[in-house]
A and B are shown apart, each in its own frame.
Chain A
């Protein structure tokens, strides 16, 4: 009886210690995941050559993190090279890449396949293999195209700097402000104007446990916006302006050279 009482006392003490331990461990987990992008508004002016983004926030120290920047999926048509007559490479047909984001930039604290289950990667569209499952590729007749074209599409987008994966690029800090993270992203100037979504996912035991997000707006401003608008809304006037300016520039420089003694 005495032994039974001793055992139950030990059991309760162990339980109390375990609960205390859990409470101690869960303190960082209580720190909510946050996300902030600086700058979150990127104006396109004549001197625009991309931007340097800093994505920062707070997270639980034990969680791994994945940050993605993507656009809404769109359909993109591209010409594809094929060998003609067994000799020459030519743009032969066209392929439609359906439901493909214009931009896909991913950063993480560690290698994706090490921190997340395969199902979780696909469900959250994390990594190029997950994108392969989402993007549908069709030829000009609407038939599904060979899977090799996804690899070519990836090469094409990486070459344009709009698709990139940097595993291990997120830096974590533990200081007075709690547990913070930061990742610097070079925003490519090739990305068209639009609204882009930044998603931060906290990962624990192979699963996504928390999410936070922010938006980035990339927008033409001033004369860049005015010229772009004019080219589409007043195309005739735009064409006449382009011709007149070119003519005046050509004739003007011709006149300058005349003064320099260009004639017989």
Chain B
């Protein structure tokens, strides 16, 4: 039941860790998020040091998102072209974000700003998605009217985006945007993700839904495709520079998560886009409440190892 982890230097119940992998992999396949914002604190709860929890999580997300991407690709849910633009933007933004955080840390008080940004972003995104999808679900009886309204909304937004150069048609998503739009949005999410120390899936998904107006199922597949490459980069850099990737922990996690991702994909096919959105928003809001409670309640032990979210 127990397995010793050579880098984390601790022993864990592998059935519990596999279960965590399964649960977070399921969320990954369902919603297209990496799940780092859930997995890292969960791993810390089973005794993994924070820096190793965060780095190893990226390693297992490589497996879960590869598994999720391939099954979504088979379902025709991956917009590779859009994913590539977002990815390029994300890489640039990530590198920029790291520099921003260095500057902030040098001035002091950065941690407070980071934590607050995290709470505001999670809370804001979660609340917006919750209200929006709840409204959409109420209007399901008037589906055709809603579709017409959405189309009109598209037209309105199209006014600003249409003025930008490099207009491109994204076939899988069925939308036309300037290539600069996903590049810019990818950079924006990349900067925020680097500042907050998370993968950014929970930010990228709403950006794709509401700003790029992509269909929910294509959003999930494309987000996983983008997360896959981000996490490959993070895993390698963490292993190379910080020696914080525990390969054995990653294997135990990924045994659970790759199956979870597949189950999540199958489940996702049975759910309506708005149902998926409202479920994701509930999870994001629950995580926000947990973080807020952790912030305002005095910790039982006032010391901790460095690292973590």
Residue of chain A at shortest CB distance from B298: A89
Interface residues in B236-270 (C-beta closer than 8 Å to A): 236-241, 243, 245, 247-248, 250-251, 254-255, 258-259, 261-262, 265-266
Q: How far is the CA of A77 from the CA of B115 in the complex (A)?
A: 22
Annotate A223-263 by CB proximity to B: 1 below 8 A, 0 otherwise.
01101100110011011111101110111111101100011
**B contacts with A, residue count (CB < 8 A):** 62
Contacts of A227 in B (CB 8 A): 6-7, 247-248
Is A152's CB within 8 Å of the partner chain B? yes
**A contacts with B, residue count (CB < 8 A):** 64
Interface contact B304-A81, CB-CB below 8 Å = yes
Contacts of B306 in A (CB 8 A): 77-79, 91, 94
Is B63's CB within 8 Å of the partner chain A? yes
Contacts of B66 in A (CB 8 A): 246-247, 249-251, 254
Contacts of A49 in B (CB 8 A): 2, 4, 11
Interface contact B63-A249, CB-CB below 8 Å = yes
Interface contact B59-A246, CB-CB below 8 Å = yes
Q: Tell me whether chain B's interface is mostly helix, strand or loop, or mixed.
A: helix
Q: How far is the CA of A240 from the CA of B237 in the complex (A)?
A: 10
Smallest beta-carbon distance B215→chain A, Å? 16
Interface contact B75-A50, CB-CB below 8 Å = no
Interface contact B262-A254, CB-CB below 8 Å = yes
Contacts of B241 in A (CB 8 A): 235
Interface contact A242-B235, CB-CB below 8 Å = yes
Interface contact A236-B240, CB-CB below 8 Å = yes
Residue of chain B at shortest CB distance from A226: B6
Smallest beta-carbon distance B87→chain A, Å? 16
Interface contact B303-A78, CB-CB below 8 Å = yes
Is A87's CB within 8 Å of the partner chain B? yes
Partner of B305, one of A45, A79, A239: A79
Contacts of A156 in B (CB 8 A): 301, 303-304
Is B111's CB within 8 Å of the partner chain A? yes
Contacts of B60 in A (CB 8 A): 246
Smallest beta-carbon distance B242→chain A, Å? 9
Annotate A136-174 by CB proximity to B: 1 below 8 A, 0 otherwise.
000000000000010011011001000000000000000
Interface contact A224-B67, CB-CB below 8 Å = no
Partner of A250, one of B11, B62, B303: B62
Interface contact B75-A246, CB-CB below 8 Å = no
Q: How far is the CA of A200 from the CA of B236 in the complex (A)?
A: 48
Which of A81, A190, A253: most chain B Cβ within 10 A? Answer: A253
Contacts of A224 in B (CB 8 A): 4, 6
Given A251-B70, A253-B262, A242 and B303 touching (CB < 8 A)?
no
Interface contact A247-B63, CB-CB below 8 Å = yes
Contacts of B254 in A (CB 8 A): 246, 249-250
Contacts of A252 in B (CB 8 A): 258
Given A87-B296, A89-B296, A250-B67, A242 and B259 touching (CB < 8 A)?
no
Contacts of B259 in A (CB 8 A): 253
Interface contact B232-A220, CB-CB below 8 Å = no
Is A5's CB within 8 Å of the partner chain B? no
Interface residues in B144-172 (C-beta closer than 8 Å to A): none
Contacts of A89 in B (CB 8 A): 294-299
Is B174's CB within 8 Å of the partner chain A? no
Is B281's CB within 8 Å of the partner chain A? no
Contacts of A85 in B (CB 8 A): 112
Is A192's CB within 8 Å of the partner chain B? yes
Q: How far is the CA of A149 from the CA of B76 in the complex (A)?
A: 57
Interface contact B266-A262, CB-CB below 8 Å = yes
Q: How far is the CA of A24 from the CA of B7 in the complex (A)?
A: 57
Is A2's CB within 8 Å of the partner chain B? no
Interface contact B251-A245, CB-CB below 8 Å = yes
Partner of B295, one of A90, A238, A253, A262: A90
Which of B67, B237, B305: most chain A Cβ within 10 A? Answer: B67
Interface contact B303-A80, CB-CB below 8 Å = yes
Interface residues in B55-73 (C-beta closer than 8 Å to A): 59-60, 62-71
| In the A-B complex, the 4 residue pairs with the closest CB atoms | A250-B66, A239-B239, A254-B70, A246-B62
A interface residues, Cβ below 8 angstroms from B: 44-50, 77-85, 87-92, 94-95, 149, 152-153, 155-156, 159, 189-190, 192-193, 220, 224-225, 227-228, 231-232, 235-236, 238-243, 245-247, 249-255, 257-258, 262-264
Known A89-B298, A149-B302; further 16 A-B contacts with Cβ < 8 A? A46-B4, A79-B303, A79-B306, A81-B303, A90-B111, A156-B303, A189-B11, A231-B6, A231-B245, A235-B240, A238-B239, A245-B250, A246-B235, A250-B67, A257-B262, A262-B266
Q: List 12 A-B contacts (CB under 8 A).
A: A48-B2, A84-B112, A87-B295, A239-B240, A242-B59, A242-B245, A242-B250, A243-B62, A251-B67, A251-B70, A258-B74, A262-B74
